[in-house]
Amino acid sequence: MSEAIMIKDAVCSFCGCLCDDINVEVEDGKIQRVRHACRLGSSKIMGHARIESPMIRKNGVLVAVSFQEAYDKAAKILLAAAKPLLYGWASTSCEAAKKGILLAEEVGGVLDSTATVCHGPSVIGIEEKGLPGATLGQVKNRADTIVFWGCNPAEAHPRHSLRYSSNSCGKFTQEGREGRKIIVVDVRETRTSKNADKFIRISPGSDYEVISALRMLVAGKGDSVLDEVGGVLKADLADIAATLKAAKFGAVFFGLGITHSRGRYKNIDNALSLVAELNSHSKFVIMPMRGHYNVGGIGQVLAWSSGYPMSVDFTRGGPYFNPGETSACDLLARRDVDAALIIAADAVSNFPRATAKALAGIPVIQIDPYENPTTLLSDVVIPCAIAGVEVEGTAYRMDGLALRLRKMVDSSFPSDEDILMGILESVHKQRQMTANEGA
Amino acid sequence: MIIKGGIVYDPANGIYGDEMDLFIDQGRMAMQAKGEEIDARGLLVMPGGVDAHSHIAGKKVNTGRIMRPDDARLGTEPRTAVCRPSTGYTVPNCYAMGYRYARMGYTTAFEAATPILEARHTHEELEEIPIIDKGALTLFGNNWQVMECVRDKDLTKLAAYVAWGLRAARGYGVKIVNPGGGEAWGFGGNVKSQNDIVPNFDVTPAEIIVGLAKANEMLNLPHSIHLHFNNLGKPGNYTTAIETLDLLKDIKPSRMRQVVHVAHMQFSAYGGTSWRDFESKASVIADYFNCHNHATMDMGQLLFGSATTMTADAPLEYGNARLTHNKWSNHDIELEESSGVVPMTYFRKMLVNAVQWAIGLELALLVKDPWKVLMTTDHPNGSPFVNYPEVITLLMSKPKRDAEMATLHEQVPKRTTLAGIERELDWTDIAIMTRAAPARVLGLDDKGHLGPGADGDVSIYNLRPLEVDTSLDHVLVKKALANAKYTIKGGVVVSKEGQILATPPGRTFWVDAAVPQVDTDRLMIDLEEKFAKYYSIQIANYAVQDAYLPHAKVIRAGLLIEPLPEVA
């Protein structure tokens, strides 16, 4: 038995909070205990049953093969495709994303991230209005007013409130929760709303109207607001508007309740406008609650590599971006892609039924440590080491802050980067062979 | 490599248009060498261009990309056998940055503003920019630790923090942006002069600037403080500029260089009391620079058309957004800074824009010593860097300036002195302002000149300086400058007549300054408390890891190094 090693201040690679105070006890090359992480993070770091071997579907059954065979088959699929989709990227490192972008350029594919079924509408809202934001520490040190809109951090980002938002303490917020006003807007009661000073329950799909009413009230045009908007009394909205205007420093956190309800990116556009306008009265910032730990990172890497943060089409040589046309679900719904590589995401569980069905009709390559519903329809399955636990790398927190993921234990599996490079090398090799045959 | 018969401008070595052969051996300039011969007979030859102030990497650049898909579409170039794809005009992708600088004959560019906390991101992008050498200046002007050291008048602890911060950020030098204003912006405020008290910190911007300048010289850093004034971009701000420069005139430089470099002077040379009576005070600023030797500036030239304003001066960007009703991104960085990004279009017929255009040119033409003025557009604030050939030809040609003036708002000749300026810069001036001076201002000994041992970075243009009339043939000159006949980086031809031939990775320069351990020990007590209470990350995860700089070039400095002989 070897001595237990304590890894201190490691970064948790579960959600967009990227808590970086995790202590991990390792003995005999295995993680024995995880400290400071929430249950979600702890379960991620401890891990569970893995895909054991690369597999290729033969006669309808996944059969174990060598990694090289799997790379060659994956390369063959990508080369044969006129327009392959390379999708996922939210739960792996930026280093893997860089290799994925290179691969998408080489094979002429479309690269999209899980943002497309998540905060993609937020990105489009930001393209319309910009993002008045801050790092999470700025909120912790200064915010006396916090709004959670269509999100439920108490269950999705369990340590958010204590580390960064409602219950955190900082230089100008030493009273923590006591010194803050917390407003929650949602269509239902949640654990987050129970921690609120004011819970505004709106009718489903009325986010746009409610934000518009608040903008009018903030602008002093309350006369034109109806007595009830989205199921909320005008007097309550007027109260909220007054609280927002009186803040010393306010922050709005928003989630999928607003990005994927009626109005979608227009809701975000409206919320960004509200926050921009509030800055005439007080200091205000806004931030999307990013879900997967590095869904922010793929957006950053893709933006500096291609100019666009998601849904980038490399099939015409130069990058092309037109969400609605080049986004994963739309491509699949139109049956416009003829192969897919799914990495670090479970498309089948999260896509609309029609698009998941479209995936079943084309060759699919999956790169993932774990079996999930996407595995069931994959033709090539390549198991990988887990970024942030078994592989070092970079991830971007929900506020855009880059942190270095640690390697805690060794793995016998190749990293996502290694696998993508293996496929890329096979692409080069097969191209060369075809060229030689042609000559 | 041998470059034969070029007309060489290497002002740092006293060479002003002499016909000579150049030799590059193992990536460096040499007295002789063998190998590939490049025929440069009669052509303009200069050291590789050096850009000392450009926003090329990091969070705010990427924010510009993310909020401007409209801009990305403007510059799409497909992937080739050598190149990754390019996109963007004002906010190009990383690959385009490297290719476009190289095409113009530039081989070095420095990112002008990086918060320590977000330096990891900056280095991720810098590493992705091919070909050119680079570095990043580190922001200190709104940092709590800095303000506390200044308030406590603890200069040695301040120096220890600057050294620690540069190391943590893998940064090259001390950048100060609207000192105190960024902290005030934390609660939506600003400072209105260099003598205002910064809320909650009991210091003034003036004290922050002087403190950091003294710490900079105590640490013997290669670069001086690099300053973006308070009140930047506001009518009447020239007095802030001059009063602030006066604060620094008695500080002794630790090296043969300025005590302060003023970033994008154009934005701080404004007269008037509002946009209504807005006018140029470039002549007053130029007089000051002509009478004093402790300061240098870069132009921050504005050109008409599309730009993306991005700066750590967040209140300024909020003002820009309110003024133009354009989209607005803001980003506050806990304990350290704030920042903002706003797209902008500059118009010929808009008086303010036309006067701004003239001010940049006035500054460069009225300051007599070209070693004091670097040619920049504060990319992409005044204009993207791909328009440097336009700026250079404006400086070299009075007829071109007159032709441009004729297309502008009619008040420009009344609000500026540009119409009366006859001066036309020559190739020596240009070689200084785009090569020799930026290298000297940054303290890069091996850049900006062609002496033995210098980096083998050479640009050769399809121009015959002994024959071409730069005043009259400005169209020809601009065309030649846009695509160098050859750009040679470290002895390798990276670009030929606009075509990228090779994409070696560039190096990243950073400065490691030594300080006495006792000062660092005192500092760490403060920092450990700040991380325990205020930062949202652990101190162990703060500094940029070496993995992010696989091509690092470390410059040593600090208190343990003997200062160079004093400047006479």
Could you write out the DSSP letters of every residue in B172-196? -EEEEESTTHHHHGGGT---SSTTS
CATH of the domain at A156: 3.40.228.10
The answer on pLDDT for B567 being more than 50 is: no
Helix B351-366 × helix B388-396 angle, to 10°: 60
Give the integer Cα–Cα distance in Å for B213 and A376: 64
How is residue B279 annotated by DSSP? E
Query: B384, B439 in Cβ contact below 8 A?
Result: no
Put simply, the chain A residues between 116 and 135 with a CB less than 8 A from any chain B CB are: 123, 126-135
Average pLDDT, whole number, for chain B? 97
Mean pLDDT, rounded, for B264-286: 98
**Count of residues making up chain B:** 568
Query: B493, B487 in Cβ contact below 8 A?
Result: yes
8 Å CB contact of B541 and A404: yes
Residue B350 — pLDDT band, cuts 50, 70, 90? Answer: very high
As separate numbers, helices (DSSP H) first and strands (DSSP E) second, chain A gives 18, 22
If asked whether residues A370 and A394 sit together in one domain, one would say yes
Average pLDDT, whole number, for chain A? 97
N-terminal to C-terminal alpha carbon distance within chain A: 60
Q: What does the block give as tokens for A78? A: 């990508």
If asked whether residues A57 and A92 sit together in one domain, one would say yes
How much of chain B exceeds pLDDT 90, in percent?
A: 98
How many residue contacts between A and B have a Cβ separation below 8 Å?
192
Query: A137, B334 in Cβ contact below 8 A?
Result: yes
CB atoms within 10 A of CB B293: 15
Q: Does B332 touch chain A (CB under 8 A)?
A: yes
Closest Cβ–Cβ partner in B86, B321, B535 for A137: B535
Give the integer Cα–Cα distance in Å for B498 and B528: 51
If asked whether residues A337 and A410 sit together in one domain, one would say yes
Q: Which residue on chain B is closest to A144 by alpha carbon? A: B187
With vertex at residue A164, the alpha carbon angle to CA A161 and CA A165, rounded to the nearest 5 degrees, is 50
Residues of B in contact with A131 (CB under 8 A): 63, 67, 329-331
With vertex at residue A362, the alpha carbon angle to CA A359 and CA A368, rounded to the nearest 5 degrees, is 60
pTM, full prediction: 0.97
Closest Cβ–Cβ partner in A135, A170, A248 for B187: A248
If asked whether residues A255 and A328 sit together in one domain, one would say no
Closest Cβ–Cβ partner in A9, A304, A402 for B538: A9
Residues of A in contact with B540 (CB under 8 A): 8-9
If asked whether residues A268 and A370 sit together in one domain, one would say no
Nearest CA to CA, how far is A53 from chain B (Å)? 30
Q: What does the block give as tokens for B12? A: 């740092």
Phi, psi of A61 (to 5 degrees): -120, 140
Q: Of A239, A269, A288, at which residue does a domain stop?
A: A288
Give the Å distances, CA to CA, from B387 to B71, B364, B534: 16, 16, 43
Give the best residue of A280, A294, A304, A392 to mutate against chain B (max B CB count within 10 A).
A304
Q: What does the block give as tokens for B109? A: 């560019």
Phi, psi of B533 (to 5 degrees): -100, -35
Q: Which residues, 6+ apart, have CB-to-CB distance to B451 below 8 Å?
A: B10, B12, B13, B29
Give the integer Cα–Cα distance in Å for A397 and A409: 23
If asked whether residues A145 and A249 sit together in one domain, one would say yes
If asked whether residues A305 and A276 sit together in one domain, one would say no
Long-range Cβ pairs for the range A186-190 (8 Å, 24+)? A186/A148, A186/A149, A186/A150, A186/A151, A186/A152, A186/A257, A187/A150, A187/A257, A187/A261, A190/A152, A190/A154, A190/A155
Q: What does the block give as tokens for B91? A: 């906010």
CA dihedral (B179, B527, B511, B60) in degrees, to 10, reads -50
Query: Looking at the DSSP assignment, which residues form a beta bridge with residue B7?
Result: B19, B44
Give the integer Cα–Cα distance in Å for B485 and B480: 8
Q: Which residues, 6+ apart, have CB-to-CB distance to A104 below 8 Å?
A: A86, A110, A111, A312, A314
The answer on pLDDT for B566 being more than 90 is: no
Give the integer Cα–Cα distance in Å for A404 and B100: 31
Phi, psi of B343 (to 5 degrees): -65, 155
What total of structural domains would you count in chain A?
3
Q: Does B534 touch chain A (CB under 8 A)?
A: yes
Residues of B in contact with A285 (CB under 8 A): 330, 332
Report the candidate in B42, B58, B53, B151 with the shortest Cα–Cα distance to residue B385.
B53
The answer on pLDDT for B212 being more than 50 is: yes
If asked whether residues A61 and A134 sit together in one domain, one would say no
8 Å CB contact of A129 and B120: no
DSSP state letters, A120-154: HHHHHHHHHH--EEE-HHHHHHH-SEEEEES--HH
Q: Does A22 touch chain B (CB under 8 A)?
A: no
Looking at residue B568, what is its pLDDT?
42
Pairing of strands B44-47, B458-461: antiparallel
Q: Which residues, 6+ apart, have CB-to-CB distance to A263 below 8 Å?
A: A205, A207, A208, A270
Put simply, the chain A residues between 218 and 277 with a CB less than 8 A from any chain B CB are: 248-249, 276
If asked whether residues A420 and A273 sit together in one domain, one would say no
How is residue B139 annotated by DSSP? E
Q: Domain span at residue A164?
A: 120-288
If asked whether residues A130 and A279 sit together in one domain, one would say yes
CATH of the domain at A384: 3.40.50.740
Q: What does the block give as tokens for B229? A: 């004034």
How much of chain A exceeds pLDDT 90, in percent?
A: 97
Looking at residue A437, what is its pLDDT?
87
User: What's the sign of the alpha-carbon dihedral B183, B187, B193, B197?
Assistant: negative
Q: Which helix (H) or strand (E) holds A309?
A: none
Q: Which residues, 6+ apart, have CB-to-CB distance to B246 below 8 Å?
A: none
Helix B59-67 × helix A295-306 angle, to 10°: 80
The answer on pLDDT for B560 being more than 90 is: no
Give the integer Cα–Cα distance in Å for B563 and B439: 19
Q: Does B536 touch chain A (CB under 8 A)?
A: yes
Nearest CA to CA, how far is A216 from chain B (Å)? 17
8 Å CB contact of A282 and B78: no
8 Å CB contact of A130 and B342: yes
Phi, psi of B423 (to 5 degrees): -60, 135
Burial (CB count within 10 angstroms: exposed 0-12, middle 13-18, buried 19+), residue B540: middle
CA A132 to the chain's CA centroid: 19
Mean pLDDT, rounded, for B77-100: 98
Q: What is the pLDDT of residues B480-489, one digit of tens each?
A: 999 999 999 9
Q: What does the block give as tokens for A153? A: 């951090």
Give the Å distances, CA to CA, from B227 to B174, B183, B339: 8, 16, 15
ipTM, 2 decimals?
0.97
Looking at residue A317, what is its pLDDT?
86
The answer on pLDDT for B565 being more than 80 is: no
Half-sphere exposure of A46 (CA within 13 A, CB side): 12
Q: What is the pLDDT of residues B144-179, one digit of tens each?
A: 999 999 999 999 999 999 999 999 999 999 999 999
Report the candidate in A123, A343, A15 with the shortest Cα–Cα distance to residue B62.
A123
Q: Of A232, A257, A288, at which residue does a domain stop?
A: A288
Looking at residue B559, what is its pLDDT?
82
Half-sphere exposure of A341 (CA within 13 A, CB side): 33
Residue A3 — pLDDT band, cuts 50, 70, 90? Answer: confident
Nearest CA to CA, how far is B70 from chain A (Å)? 9
Looking at residue A1, what is its pLDDT?
53
The answer on pLDDT for B74 being more than 90 is: yes
Give the integer Cα–Cα distance in Å for B52 and B113: 11
Mean pLDDT, rounded, for B58-85: 97
Residues of B in contact with A11 (CB under 8 A): 541
Looking at residue A186, what is its pLDDT?
98
Q: Which residue on chain B is closest to A277 by alpha carbon? A: B322
Residues of B in contact with A98 (CB under 8 A): 128
Q: What is the pLDDT of residues A183-210, one digit of tens each?
A: 999 999 999 999 999 999 999 999 999 9
If asked whether residues A267 and A281 sit together in one domain, one would say yes
Helix B282-291 × helix B351-366 angle, to 10°: 20
Residue with the two structure tokens 């700040």: B530
If asked whether residues A96 and A220 sit together in one domain, one would say no
Q: Does B341 touch chain A (CB under 8 A)?
A: yes
Q: Which residue on chain A is closest to B78 by alpha carbon? A: A318
Nearest CA to CA, how far is A123 from chain B (Å)? 8
Q: Which residue on chain B is closest to A131 by alpha carbon? A: B329
